[in-house]
Amino acid sequence: MPHSLLVTFPLDTAAHTILAPIMAGVGEVVCLDDFSPADRPAAIRQTNAILTWNLKVFSPDELGLLGHARLLQFMTAGVDFVPLSTLPPALPVAANGGAYAEAMAEHALAMAMAAAKRIVRSHGEVARGEFHQHRPNRMLAGSICAILGFGGVGVATALLLHAIGLRIHAINRSPRAHAALDWFGAPDQLDTMLAAADILVIAAPLTKATLGLIGARELSLMKPNATVINLARGEIIDEAALFAHLQTHPDFTACIDAWWVEPVRHGSFRMDHPFTDLANVIASPHNSASVMESRGLALQRAAANCRRALLGETPLHLVRPEDRML
C-alpha cells in the first residue's frame, strides 16, 4: 500500500468494518498498540496520517516524529484542551468537526423543549404537591432560535428546530448558506442576533475569539424570557455574569451541558456558582455527544478526513494556528 493510517487506539471488528471501505485503495490501517516500544518510532515515521483521541499516547520524543505526516486527525470535535503547541509547527491538525452533530442537536432540542414547557420546574412542583395546571408554558413554533457557530452541530440543530416551526438565525466566521436559515450574520453582528433571539444555542468552538464572548453586556441584550443552551464550552459564557443574570431574570433559562471546569479537560468537575440551586437552570453533565450510535459515525467522518489528506486533498476542519489555545 502506498500510504498508511496509524490509529493510536484499539480497533474492534466493527471499527475495522467502518475503516476498510474508506481506506480501500489508499493505504493500510495499522494500530500503534501492535508495535513494540522499539518499533514505535519507525511506525510513526512511516505513516502519513495519524488518527488519535489525544496526545497522551505519544512520548515527547515521539511527538517530534510526527512532523512529516500529512495530517494529525483527532476523534474529538473540540481540541482546545489539547497542547497543540507541543507538536511540530508545520503538522496539519484537524478536529473532528460535526462528528457528533446529530446527537448533540437532539440534546439541544430536548433542552429547548424542557425549558419552553417548564418540564423540570413542573416536575419539582408536582413532587412537592403543587399543581399549577393553568400556569402557561410556551410554544416553540414561530419563535427565533439563534445559533452561534453554524458548523456541523449548528446545522444539525437548525434542521431539527426548523422542522418544528422555529425561525433560524445564525452567526458563523465563514459565510454558509442553508435552506433552514432565515437570517445569517457575521461575528460583528452578534448584538443584532442576541436581541432577536428567543433561544440561543452555543455551538462554536472555544478559541481566543470566543473565550468570554457572552458576558453581562451580551446577556442584557437578550429578551428577559429567553433561553440559552450551551453545548460547546463553558468558557464561551462568563460564568459569574450568567449566574447574576439568572438571579435577576427569573424567566430567563440557562440549559448548561458544557461547564467551566470538567473532568475530561481539567481533571475534575467544579462550579464556582450554585447554578443547580436556581429554578431557571437545566443541567446535564456534558453528555450531549455520549450516544453509542454516534461513535461509528464519528470514526467514519474522521477516517474520511484522513483519506482526503492521503489523496492530497485539503482536509476539513483544520485548526488554524491562531485558534490553538494551548
Cβ pair 91, 66 in contact under 8 A: yes
96: confidence class by pLDDT, cuts 50, 70, 90:
very high
177: confidence class by pLDDT, cuts 50, 70, 90:
confident
Q: Are residues 181 and 306 in the same domain?
A: no
Percent with pLDDT over 70 in the chain = 99
27: confidence class by pLDDT, cuts 50, 70, 90:
confident
- Residues 161 and 145: their CA atoms lie apart, in Å, by 8
Q: Are residues 129 and 245 in the same domain?
A: yes
pLDDT of residue 116: 96
Q: Are residues 257 and 113 in the same domain?
A: yes
| For residues 283-294, average pLDDT | 91
207 lies in a domain? yes
**CA dihedral sign, ordered 75, 80, 86, 90:** positive
Instruction: Name residue 209's amino acid.
Output: A
Q: Are residues 170 and 182 in the same domain?
A: yes
Q: Are residues 179 and 271 in the same domain?
A: yes
* CATH code, 113: 3.40.50.720
2: confidence class by pLDDT, cuts 50, 70, 90:
low
Q: Are residues 203 and 86 in the same domain?
A: no
Domain hosting residue 267, numbered range:
101-283
Q: Are residues 71 and 114 in the same domain?
A: no
Q: What is the CA radius of gyration of the chain?
A: 22
| For residues 232-246, average pLDDT | 98
**CA dihedral sign, ordered 296, 302, 303, 304:** positive
75 lies in a domain? yes
- Residues 101 and 156: their CA atoms lie apart, in Å, by 6
pLDDT of residue 1: 47
The string of pLDDT tens digits covering residues 128-174 is: 999 999 999 999 999 999 999 999 999 999 999 999 999 999 999 88
In the sheet that 181-185 helps form, which strands lie side by side, from edge to edge?
Answer: 181-185, 167-171, 144-148, 199-202, 227-230, 253-256, 281-283
Q: Are residues 131 and 66 in the same domain?
A: no
Mean per-residue pLDDT over the chain, rounded: 93
171 lies in a domain? yes
Q: Are residues 76 and 155 in the same domain?
A: no
| For residues 71-76, average pLDDT | 95
Q: Are residues 161 and 269 in the same domain?
A: yes
198 lies in a domain? yes
Q: Are residues 10 and 93 in the same domain?
A: yes
How many domains are there within the chain? 2
Cβ pair 130, 140 in contact under 8 A: no
pLDDT of residue 76: 92
| For residues 69-82, average pLDDT | 92
Decide if pLDDT at 3 tops 80: no
pLDDT of residue 271: 95
258 lies in a domain? yes
162 lies in a domain? yes
Q: Are residues 61 and 12 in the same domain?
A: yes
288 lies in a domain? no
276 lies in a domain? yes
| For residues 7-26, average pLDDT | 91
